[in-house]
Amino acid sequence: MSNQTKIKLFENSKVRSIWDSEQEKWYISVVDVIEVLTEIKRPRKYWDDLKRKLLAEGSELSEKIGQFKMQAPDGKMRLTDVADVEQLFRLVQSIPSPKAEPFKMWLSQFARERLEEEIQEFTDEWERRGVKKGQEFSILTDIITKEWSGIN
């Protein structure tokens, strides 16, 4: 899968995301998240101020933020600060908002959808390689589950 962008909706607000095939991760626009959580008209300014505050507090979060070109509201492709799901959970904790908890639930759903996509990709590949449904699928699924959860 190559880099692919998607628009996700949180309470009817657009949140831009991009799949980085090299890192094999989804990244989400930080400015979009800030706009959703704060409902302010200048989310970029809020983000600049928050980055300075986080650096002053010794947080390394803003140093881990990446950039991808994403379509801006004016239709042009512009470099946009992005974060993966783990970084966004940390970022949301830094933004006082009544929408923080619902957004965390939405973000968890986003991550769950990615896991389901990955499982589907695995099972499709197993089928292409001749793995038979039933016992063989069960064994492989058990191995994967044990690796990420520690349980059978």
- Percent of the chain scoring above 90 in pLDDT: 18
pLDDT for res 4: 63
17 confidence band (pLDDT: 50, 70, 90): confident
Taking CB atoms within 8 Å and a gap of at least 24, the contacts of 44-49 are 47/81
Cα–Cα distances (Å) from 54 to 57, 63, 86, 122, in that order, read 5, 10, 16, 39
Domain boundaries, the chain: 4-149
Tell me what pLDDT residue 29 has.
Answer: 92
pLDDT for position 10 = 66
> Looking at the whole model, is its pTM more than 0.85?
no
At a CB cut-off of 8 Å and minimum separation 6, what does 107 contact?
85, 88, 89, 92
pLDDT at residue 82, rounded to an integer: 93
Is 63:6 a contact under the CB 8 Å cutoff? no
